[in-house]
Structures are given as structure tokens and as C-alpha cells.
Amino acid sequence: MAEINPDKPMVIKLVYYGPAMSGKTTNIMLLHDLLEPELIGEMMTLETKNDRTLFFDLLPLGFKTPSGLLVKVKLFTVPGQVQHDSTRKAVLSRADGVVFVADSQRNQAINNGESFQNLADNAGRVGLDFQKLPLVVQYNKRDLPDILTEEEIGERWGQAPWPVIFSVALTGVGVKETFRQLLLQVYRVIDGQHSFKEKHGMDENDFVKAVMGEG
């Protein structure tokens, strides 16, 4: 997290991580359509081939606090394909929070597991404390046949500390809720480090509303 300096924006970096084709790019495309914050930039999609992200996508959002601080929130996606690991590591570096987008299809369970392990490994490699990192797990593609049931997913993740959200990113179901859950966790870290409420007059609900444009 960048230090707060009244003359400089605070930059919050959030990363959508997960196996190839799970729906990471689709999530931030839908956020681009659904959110109406004070500031919203164009979505940047850097290099794609047949719908596969080769480098990353970026959606910049932002707002000003009542105290006058400019807060920039940058949403990134990583390329899920296994071979792009060095890019994934670079994108993950200095992340303030992560959404792990899993593919609900039964035949993707191994890919989900390997990708989650890759996230934990890369977090360590770039110096993030994975235990403390704000994280939301999203099970996407709930519209498809032959998916893991919610009970099976509950058994897999029930003991884990992270919220699990079910989604159909293609139509927007669960997309905002996933983002909201991440922002709540990110707020707690920022408030802990920077007394955000005291100094900038925003509690967690104000913060989430401002980022999402629901103010």
C-alpha cells in the first residue's frame, strides 16, 4: 500500500487471478459496465489472442474523499494460461487484494487447485503475506451443466477464511457482490494502517459505495 501523502493519490491495486478461461476478464468488463464511480477510465486490454489474455487487463476507478484525498483503484487481471507465469507474478506484485476466479465446471477442478497453489506460491515470491492478503473466492460459470454443487464447494472451502461467491460473470450475476466483499476486506487493512476513518471521514460502507459509484 502506498503511503498517504495529501498531494499524491492513494493507489489501491486489486488483481483478478485464476486458471485460464475462468472468467477474469469478463468480471472486469462487467464491472466497467455496471459501476458508476466519480472517475472511471477506459478498460485497457493488453494483447489478446482468441479471447485469451496474454499480458493483462486494467480497469482504473477512483474517487475523492471528503478530506480531499484522491483514491485510485486499479483492477488488473492476470493471464491464466500456465505458461504466462512470469507475467502473473509481475501483475500480482504489490497487490492490495485478490479475487480468485475459479471455474465451476467439474473438469476444471484440477486447474482451479493448481492455479490457487500458484497464487499462494507467487504471493510468497513477490513478498506478499498470503495469510493477511484480502481475498475473495468466486466460483464462476454457475450457468453451465456439470458443475460442482454448492455443497461440494462448501466442503472444499468451508474451513478457509475467505468468502466464497457464486457467479455467472457473463450476465453479471455475483460480479458486484464479489467486488464488494473484496473492498470490505481492503478497507479494514487501509483503516488499520492509515486510520482512514479518522483522517478521511469514510467508514467501510462509504468507501465501498464511493469505489462502486453507489454514493
Ligand X SMILES: Nc1nc2c(ncn2[C@@H]2O[C@H](COP(=O)(O)OP(=O)(O)OP(=O)(O)O)[C@@H](O)[C@H]2O)c(=O)[nH]1
Nearest residue to ligand X by CB is 80
CB of 116 to ligand X, least distance (A): 14
CB of 154 to ligand X, least distance (A): 19
- The span from the first CA to the last CA of the chain, in angstroms, equals 24
Burial (CB count within 10 angstroms: exposed 0-12, middle 13-18, buried 19+), residue 148: buried
Q: Which is nearer to Mg ion, 28 or 148 (CB)?
A: 28
Q: Which does 140 bind (CB under 5 to 8 A by kind): ligand X, Mg ion, none?
A: ligand X
> Grid coordinates 450475476 are at which residue?
173
Selected range binding ligand X among 47-55, 91-99, 147-155, 182-190, rule: CB under 6 A = 47-55
**The three cell numbers locating residue 37:** 464511480
- Residue 22 touches Mg ion, criterion: CB under 5 A: no
Q: Which is nearer to ligand X, 54 or 189 (CB)?
A: 54
Selected range binding Mg ion among 32-40, 50-58, 121-129, 205-213, rule: CB under 5 A = 50-58
Q: Which does 105 bind (CB under 5 to 8 A by kind): Mg ion, ligand X, none?
A: none
Residues 6+ apart with CB under 8 A from 122: 85, 88, 89, 92
CB of 157 to ligand X, least distance (A): 18
Q: How many residues form the binding site for ligand X (CB under 6 A)?
A: 22
CA dist., res. 39 & res. 210, Å (int): 10
Query: What residues numbered 91-120 form the site for ligand X, per CB under 6 A?
Result: none
User: Applying CB under 6 A, which residues contact ligand X?
Assistant: 18, 20-26, 51-53, 77, 79-81, 140-141, 143-144, 168-170
